[in-house]
Structure 1
Amino acid sequence: MVVLAVAVFVMLSSCAVGCLGNKNSTELKLWSMENQSMALQLAAVLKEMERLKCEQTTLQQQQNALTQVYITSHQKRAQKEVGTNILTYGSNDEEEDNLPFSEEDSRKRGDPCFHYTVLDQAWRATNTTTKNKMCDRNFKWKGWYRLFYNGKSLQMPEKCVPVNKCGTQSPLWLAGPHPKRREGIVTRRVCGHWKKNCCAFRSTPIQVKKCRGNYYVYKFTEPSSCYLAYCADINTLVCGRCRRNQSCVSRDKINWRCKGKKRMSSKKIHFFASYPGQLKGKVNRVKYSKVLVNVGRAFDRRTGVFKAPVKGVYQFFFSTQTANTGLKTDLWLVVNGYWAAVSHTHISRPSTVGSLSTYMTFLHRGAVVYVTHNCGSSWANAASMTITFGGSLLAQWK
């Protein structure tokens, strides 16, 4: 007989009647089932597991309710500061959406991308004209803000806005490009349009930061005078729909679109050449006449020069062979006029010695690379190919 004794302290509070029988009492229940069948023992265990599961769900609901109360209290405080604003603590990044409130807040403490006030006021849109002119000098700006239009994310205009738009007389626009995410927090000038002068009012500069998810946060300040107000560019609504691997771009700063970010290309550049003869003393530029590989045609056999056709990371190798006792032989790799790497040999007794050197570097388009024979003696023939020069493009950058 299997003996199963289960002692459970049960706290019945707010669970549904279907989960917990008596919801207003606290009892200590002890089952002693020494003489019961295995089926009854298992049934009792399963029933107890269901009760514990229900109790766990109730505790989770209570925790969520407390969190909501906490957020609501901050929302009310934010509404007193700036119209219909709502204080938020999370970003729009998909990978952050499922994080608990407390964990997200503590992990990103101090980052304005996770601590900002939502500024959702339709009158700020660049296509809005109102009779009652607004003035942002009357607002008590504090901290960072993110612009919305009817619940959809957008950003400040980067182009002059016509007068009497954005619910004010002199609309404020960003006199400079929005930053890239790697730039962090930047300071930008703000201009107000008035009497055919796009920068008639040069307001106090503001700070801007780009966040994950293709949106921006702004540290607004009081404008220099009235009636000036910060604009929300209605044309940039498309930017809020860009994916993580896309950026929001525009040629005229009016029509915006999502564009995939530039990645490393797979363009192929490879070359391998040899010098089938002897080199003695100083040779300013070795002309490798026998070219075996020249994918991309970046190596010139007439001059012995490799010219980088694209910007990227390249790797080069060059070699020599010498047999003169007591004589040192140096070949140098020259990159844009600088001696970057050496292939060195020095024989102390009668023998033949070869040397192979490699070098990796980042080159801009048009960079020039060649090999110079600085001193000593190198030998090769058509079959041995001991004096060689070659390289490859490892990664291209746009």
Structure 2
Amino acid sequence: MTTTSTTADDPVLDEIDRQITRLEQVQTESAAIDRIRKTERLIGRLESVQLWDTTALKTLRLTRETRGNIPKAHRGKGLGGEVALARSVSPARGKQHLELADTLSADMRHTSAALADGHIRAEHAQAVAKETSELSALQRRKVDAAMKDRYGTAGPRELANEARAHAQRLNPRAAADRFAKAKDHRRVTTQPAGDGLSKLIAIGPTADVVAAEQSLRQWAKTQVAKGKTQDKDGKKRTRDQLMFDELLQRIAGQSDAPAVKVEILLAMTPETLLAQGADPAWLVGHGPIPAPVARGWLADADLSVYLRRVFTDPQAQQILGLESQARRFPGGVRKMVLLRDNSCRTPFCEAPIVDTDHIVPHRDVGASNWKNASGLCAACNQTKENRGWRHEGDASTLHVITPTGHRYTNKAGPLIPGAEPQRAHDPKPPDGNHANDDASLERLPPGPSP
């Protein structure tokens, strides 16, 4: 294949290109981290320029074709393919890039500004734009304004969840209708994973899929605790390997494993229980659920998973209490941490929470209470123990300090993202002395019954 290209002079970008070739190797670890951070910011700014030029390309093309009396239905045809070739990506990604440029320039000035300043990358902007694609222009602008303070502190998945929550609040009935229609697309597929492995992918209603995964996980943890990890050949298996083997056995109908009770934390404001409440509920670890759908789940007597409701104040900022009718579980702090952090608390990680970690280590007399607790994934919890790493903070803010002395901060977002912005206020963390035991949690005021 032969490719012919014509490149116009662009003094500024050409100078940037020349200067990059003159960069010398860094001499210190701190300088290396500084350059990585500066480069990341520069990439975001260059992506903003690329999107800006994409908008200009479309405007220029449509203007020329309009003057040339090209029929309206034929104007701009093939632009996505041109952009894809210029970016060396697939036509689908070229079309996506073109749509993102349109959305940012028309309705998302705060997101566009964050990208232009290098606070986010195009993937962050794309995550928000995708979740608002079915909203009206006015609604999309409201989401854009509500998200502006989250840029630079949250990763793409977290931003997508929060944008989806705002979209569900602004149009809860449409969101509930999409949920209902999506159920018809439940399916099981496979994808190659390399090295003789494949992925078994089951896509279905969130409550059912989460219940199945948690049932397997809890069963595997029990087997590990009992020391029953060997396979038929006597080889020791990890928890993940146990989960996979048990899944295959259950699918084949060969397992006699007892049913495992599964609990899912579903956070909601008192208003969400009422017919007029529009604020979405929040399924911990997975994201927003439209208010009508959450009310339907709670009214469904056949739902196979126990939904333990966690009630918040009307501003969705504080935990008021855990539903007290369920049996008492050890680890009340862990449940509250799961709700507050939702995913790993390390800035930009977004992996599922595995460990409830002490910000100030227990070996350094760190308290086992709400203010000193962080939800971390297994990898980040291990990384924290390496030489030169440390965490500082409290229930509302976590600072991660790396061996080079660089500090990365993650501030807790709203308990239920997507709640009415004008009702929000500064969060007041619960009393750490009472968040440390289940008995106090059960004494908290129970929420209303549906």
Q: Taking structure 2 as the reference length, what is the TM-score of the superposition?
A: 0.19
Structure with greater proportional helix content: 2
Q: Taking structure 1 as the reference length, what is the TM-score of the superposition?
A: 0.21
By relative contact order (CA 8 Å, sep 6+), the higher-ranking structure is 2
Q: Which has the larger radius of gyration?
A: 1
Structure with greater proportional strand content: 1
